Structures are given as structure tokens and as C-alpha cells.
Amino acid sequence: MMTAIFPVVLALASCGSAPAGDKPGAPTASEADFTVTPVARFDEPWAMAFLPGTPFALVTERKGRLKLWHEDGPLREVDGVPEVAYAGQGGLGDVAPAPDFATSGTVYLTWAEPGDGGTRGAALGRARLALDGAPRLEGLQVIWRQQPKVTGDGHYSHRIAFSPDGRYLFLSSGDRQKLTPAQAMDGNLGKIVRLLPDGTPAPGNPFADKGGVAAQIWTLGHRNVLGLKFDAQGRLWDLEHGPRGGDELNLVEPGRNYGWPLVSNGDHYSGEPIPRHATRPDLAAPAISWNPVIAPGDFIFYRGDTFPAWRGQAVIAAMKPAGIVRVAIEGDRAREVARHPTRYRIREIVERDDGSVWLLEDGEEAGAGRLLRLSPGRQK
């Protein structure tokens, strides 16, 4: 635990040239500094979730460790975590408390798991988090898997979002760098799925009449969704990596096709062009896209009072260039309004119930991924 304030200036400013998006123009600039306090260190942290009704948060480390953090206590490791396929982008992924966590103690985890013949795929599991004595997961059960398992170590996505009423679990499933499965209905790669809390397909899904794995699917045509959140109106949004350019923020609507790999506002890494979204009005276009990229991690829709100017905005953890990107939502469109540059890549951003904002750095060296608390007020 680090108690001293570590001054980091997050200047509200454009990062060099004007951002590329659907509405060009430099972000609004103003003179506002913020104090950042490092409070803990982790190894390759990926996700964080505060546990309702407790002083604790869970933090996943990609190598397969789950940490229980308390602002005023020691950092502890949680036992009972599944074996993970740690390679490339794979490992332990997202973590989320169940909507009824206060009574059930249930948490949900995602991870990359090994398959036959060198294949891998994301898995979703749930377990009871026991906090009496040594923290541990009890009764861990896998309730969903990516289909099919494939070779490679990228684009698992596996972000979790519960609907505001707690009835449904939404999960992002990346294309696993295989492209065409994102358009195929005989698997769930390159999709967002809607499930019941037990992992079964939710009734009323748009492709339920097709049966099989298609009954899970809510939307298709996704590449690598690393953010999945509901706004204050109850609308679902995703944040996904484009290829060479074309990172996207999308309003996620049932049954829609978001175009990957048929269209993108970026191109393949080889330089081969991809038709732009504008060429296919039958496919869902992003609310905003970025070229050059911002390499997003997670994001939040800020709802608190600590940073009143941010209220209602999408606040995005960015890795390239490193920082926080703020985006105003205007109906079904979006507009970048500001960037807060940081020294290191930001993987995760979380808002606590009190309106405070917390960041996890994308540190790959041992202990390099710091947990940071962001506080308003000019640095003295």
C-alpha cells in the first residue's frame, strides 16, 4: 500500500493532431489538473470490480491470479481460481459481482481456457466468493464457452455486463483474429451474446428461431470488444478495437450486424484496404470511430458528482496514446470532447459508488500495474 500522494498532471488537452472520428475537430481544452494517488501494485492487471456492500474490490491479473483489495488492509490472493491459458492476450479476464451479490456472494469471471490440439477459447464461470478466513471461490462452475475453440492467442474480448434490471448477462466474444466467424451464425465468435444468469440463452433473443448457438446471439460482426456498458438510459454500448485504425464506440441494438470484417474505418495490418462503413448503410455504423487509434481498454458512463463536467459521458481507458478519452453522447451518436494524457497505458477504469474514479495501468513487468485513485483539484 502506498499512502503518499504521487502527483500526476492530467491536462485536458488535445494529444497533438485533431482526433479522427465521425466529427473532426480538436477536443475542448481547459486548464484543469488532477491529483492521482497510487494505492497498490499488480502484475498485468486486466479488470477490477468493487463489491457492493463491502470495502473490497476484486482485481484480475492475466497470469491467473485474483486479488482481493481493501484500501485500509493488506492485498490478499483469492484461492480457487481456474487454470488459464496465459499467452498473447489470453489469461484471466473480467470479473463482475452478481446483481444479487449482497445476498448470494456470487461473482462471475472470464478467462482463456485450453482446448484440444493447441486450441483455446474464452470461458465464463460463476462461483461464491467466501470472505470468512482466507478468501476463496467456492463451487466454481463454467456456464458458457466460446464456440468453436481455435488456435491463436488474441481477441478473446470476454467482457461482462449485467442489464440494469439484473435479469440478463451480456458478454462480448471476440473474433479470435479469425475474421470471418464474426459473420457466421454457427458459432459465437465475433458476437455479443445475451444470457440468463445461469449461462443459458435468454428468451426472446433475435436469432432464437435458428436454434443451437445462434440462440445466444444478440448482435454480430464484432472484432475485439473490450468495453461493454449500459448508459443511464439503459442502452447498451460497446467499445472495440479496429484493425489498423477504426477503433469504435457502438450503440448495441438487438439483431444488428456491426460489419466486421466486411467494413471498417481502418485497414488490415498488411495495408490491404477494407471498405468503409459508409459503403454499407445496411450494416450498423459506429457512433464514433478513431483513426489513428486510441487502443481502448474498458470504459464507464460516469454518473457521480465528483467530476460534474463528466456526468453522462463515456470515459475511456486508452493505451495508445496512453490516457483517458472523454466522449459526449448525443442521441445515437458520440463526440470526443477531451483527452487526459497519462504517462502509462490505462487498461481499466472503474467508478465507485461515491463517484470516485479508479484506474489500472497496463503494467507487464512485475508490480508495474498500479491502481490509481483520481481526485479533483489542482495539484499544488
Active site positions, annotated? 155
Residue type, 219: T
Question: Residue 68 in contact with residue 77, Cβ under 8 Å?
Answer: yes
Q: Output the CA–CA distances (angstroms, integers) from residue 267 to 247, 251, 312, 321, in the order listed.
A: 11, 22, 31, 19
Q: Cβ–Cβ contacts within 10 Å for residue 129, how many?
A: 24
Question: Residue 379 in contact with residue 7, Cβ under 8 Å?
Answer: yes
The sheet with strand 288-290 has its strands ordered as 224-230, 236-241, 247-252, 288-290
Q: Output the CA–CA distances (angstroms, integers) from residue 316 to 133, 260, 267, in the order listed.
A: 36, 22, 23
How far apart are the C-alpha atoms of 71 and 174, rounded to whole Å?
Answer: 34
H or E element that contains 194:
strand 191-195
How far apart are the C-alpha atoms of 80 and 11, rounded to whole Å?
Answer: 42
DSSP-assigned beta bridge partners for residue 127? 107
How far apart are the C-alpha atoms of 258 and 326, rounded to whole Å?
Answer: 23
Cell of 260: 466486421
Question: Residue 313 in contact with residue 329, Cβ under 8 Å?
Answer: yes
